[in-house]
């Protein structure tokens, strides 16, 4: 790995509209779970797993995230901001805009700020660096409206909407494909993104382009816990579950 660097990119620019009044005056990243901001929870987990270079994108109330980082000390970790306050770049554009921060990184772990899990992130990162793959999408076998589509060799093909039967891949949905749920965590090697135009876009469209010539693979995860904290109900359920384990 370049300079023994482990790089993570925290997606924290979202508007958090599903959290309603909780994000009326606060960025989603600073909404608390059991009295601790989501961003703080994730930073502590990444640092515990030996990530020493962390980039965070900001947009909605981004100045509050900057202030949070100014007043919270994370020694021996290089934390940088990819500022999207002028224009929200979406999940793919966020990566493209942040590419200069990854120039010294062999790989990047991307983690949604509102996902809480005990996945072995360091293990996946190190194994990914040893692979020849362009990207890994961490997936689960769970119910969800939107699915990622993979062939029988776990190569990414596109996305499928269970409710509308819409498939955005090449041709019709293959009969023998795998439909898996995205975990909100993925890994990529920056070199495969360098030829895209920097503009707002979704990351899966970029991965479909990359997958035409390089391997973008599914990696199933089986964590003890995984929560998407996008709604108040999901946040409360996670708080109650985590409190019960103490």
pLDDT digits (tens, 9 = 90+) for 211-233: 999 999 999 999 999 999 999 99
Judge contact between 235 and 229, C-beta under 8 A. yes
Average pLDDT for 9-37? 95
**Is residue 166 domain-resident?**
no
Q: What is the pLDDT of residue 3?
A: 57
Instruction: Render 141-188 in DSSP notation, one character per residue.
Output: -S--SEEEEE-TT-BEEEEEETTTTEE-SSSSPPTT-EEEEEEEEEEE
Taking each helix axis from N to C terminus, what angle separates 38-48 and 62-71, rounded to the nearest 10 degrees? 50
Q: 122 near 6, Cβ under 8 Å?
A: yes
| Number of structural domains the chain divides into | 1
Question: For residue 61, what is the DSSP state?
Answer: T
User: 3-state class of 48 per DSSP?
Assistant: helix
| pLDDT surpassing 80 at residue 53 | yes
Per-residue pLDDT reduced to its tens digit, 154-211: 999 999 999 999 999 999 999 999 999 999 999 999 999 999 999 999 999 999 999 9
Q: Does residue 228 fall inside a structural domain?
A: yes
Pairing type for strands 135-140 and 216-220 reads parallel
Which domain covers residue 97, as residue numbers?
2-138+182-244
Q: What is the mean pLDDT of residues 89-106?
A: 98
| DSSP H stretches of helix in 31-89 | 38-48, 62-71
pLDDT, the chain, mean:
96
The answer to whether the beta carbons of residues 95 and 8 sit under 8 Å apart is no
The answer to whether the CB of 95 falls within 8 A of the CB of 209 is no
Cα–Cα distances in Å, from 137 out to 17, 230, 244? 25, 20, 30
Whether residue 147 lies inside any domain: the answer is no
Q: Is residue 85 part of a domain?
A: yes
Max CA pair span of the chain? 53
- Residues of the chain with pLDDT > 90, as a percent, come to 94
* Residue 100 resides in a domain: yes
Residue with tokens 């790995």: 1
Torsion over CA: 206, 208, 213, 214 (sign) = positive
Q: Is residue 38 part of a domain?
A: yes
Q: Give me the pLDDT at residue 2, please.
A: 61
CA–centroid distance for 56 within its chain: 11
Per-residue pLDDT, 245? 81
Dist. CA 113–CA 184, nearest whole Å: 9
Residue at 143 is within a domain: no
> How, if at all, do strands 115-117 and 226-228 pair?
antiparallel
Structure confidence at residue 212 (pLDDT): 97
CATH for 13: 3.90.550.10
- Report the pLDDT averaged over residues 40-62: 98
pLDDT of residue 111 exceeding 70: yes
234-239 mean pLDDT: 96
């Amino acid at each position: 790995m370049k300079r023994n660097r482990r790089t993570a990119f925290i997606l924290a620019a979202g508007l958090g509209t599903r959290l309603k009044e909780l994000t009326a005056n606060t960025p989603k990243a600073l909404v608390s779970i059991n009295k601790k901001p989501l961003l703080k929870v994730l930073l502590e987990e990444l640092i515990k797993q030996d990530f020493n270079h962390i980039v965070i994108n900001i947009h909605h109330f981004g100045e509050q995230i900057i202030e949070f980082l100014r007043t919270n000390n994370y020694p021996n970790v290089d934390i940088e901001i990819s500022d999207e306050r002028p224009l929200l770049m979406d999940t793919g554009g966020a990566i493209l805009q942040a590419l200069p921060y990854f120039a010294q990184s062999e790989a990047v772990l991307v983690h949604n700020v509102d996902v809480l899990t005990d996945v072995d992130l360091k293990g996946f990162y190190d194994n990914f660096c040893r692979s020849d793959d362009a990207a890994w999408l961490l997936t689960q076998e769970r119910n969800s409206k939107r699915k990622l589509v993979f062939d029988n060799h776990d190569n990414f093909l596109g996305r499928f909407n269970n409710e509308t039967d819409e498939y955005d891949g090449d041709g019709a949905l293959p009969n023998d494909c795998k439909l898996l749920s995205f975990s909100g965590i993925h890994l990529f090697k920056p070199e495969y993104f360098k030829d895209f135009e920097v503009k707002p876009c979704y990351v899966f469209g970029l991965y479909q382009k990359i997958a035409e010539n390089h391997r973008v693979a599914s990696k199933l995860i089986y964590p003890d816990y995984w929560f998407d904290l996008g709604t108040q109900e999901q946040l409360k359920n996670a708080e109650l579950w985590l409190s019960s384990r103490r």
